[in-house]
A and B are shown apart, each in its own frame.
Chain A
Amino acid sequence: AQSVTQLDSQVPVFEEAPVELRCNYSSSVSVYLFWYVQYPNQGLQLLLKYLSGSTLVKGINGFEAEFNKSQTSFHLRKPSVHISDTAEYFCAVRWGSARQLTFGSGTQLTVLP
């Protein structure tokens, strides 16, 4: 079965430090990749997506992610985090023409002062 793995359930980091949130998926055949962010008591907001083209994708709030087909990864990065980046981050994958997204279990990013 196809799966999405977010290796870290919790990532604490100090303000202005860089951060990387990891996401791996089970198969590289025709994938479409997404990162969503969920702030407390809110729904999911789309951060960025990879559909085709350049493997480095830039999103909102200074985040970027790189599609690595050989490693079947789509890690999310930010060079300098802010307190306001504290939230839960979800990686999601759609395979081929499937209607549904498969979500990872989420990574709670906590930015410390």
Chain B
Amino acid sequence: ETGVTQTPRHLVMGMTNKKSLKCEQHLGHNAMYWYKQSAKKPLELMFVYNFKEQTENNSVPSRFSPECPNSSHLFLHLHTLQPEDSALYLCASSIGGASGRPFWSTDTQYFGPGTRLTVL
């Protein structure tokens, strides 16, 4: 596998289910991101991790719970979602920066194929 992979590619869940999205990067990067892409809206950054530490949480509801066990893997745990949470969830990775320091100016994000989530 190369680049950034995401599983599953498609997920249908009820509002009371608990599920998880998985992202894995094979680029040797240190930073990983979750984005939400809804129809007719700009990409929304949800979370950023750098060296396994969460550095950004853009006011995301607690029904979305990220987990970053190491620099290569990122999960998004989902529970009691709402129909309006249906969207394409994109994972990205980048070189990032040294722990606790700003990212390099040349930092470039590479994206996975996304998970298409439908909440019934």
Chain A residues in the interface with B (C-beta under 8 A): 30, 32, 34, 36, 41-46, 49, 51-52, 90, 94, 96-101, 103-106
Contacts and interface: CB of A to CB of B under 8 A. Distances in A.
Contact of B31 (A45, A99, A104): A99
Interface string B85-114: 000001010001100001101111111111
B2 to A, nearest CB: 13
Contact of A42 (B40, B50, B114): B114
Given A32-B105, A51-B106, A99-B102, A43 B111 contact: yes
Nearest to B9: A41
Interface string B48-67: 10100001100000000000
A99 B103 contact: yes
Given A42-B113, A49-B108, 12 more contacts: A30-B105, A34-B109, A42-B114, A43-B112, A44-B90, A94-B107, A97-B105, A98-B102, A98-B103, A100-B45, A103-B42, A105-B41
Given A97-B102, A99-B48, A46 B110 contact: yes
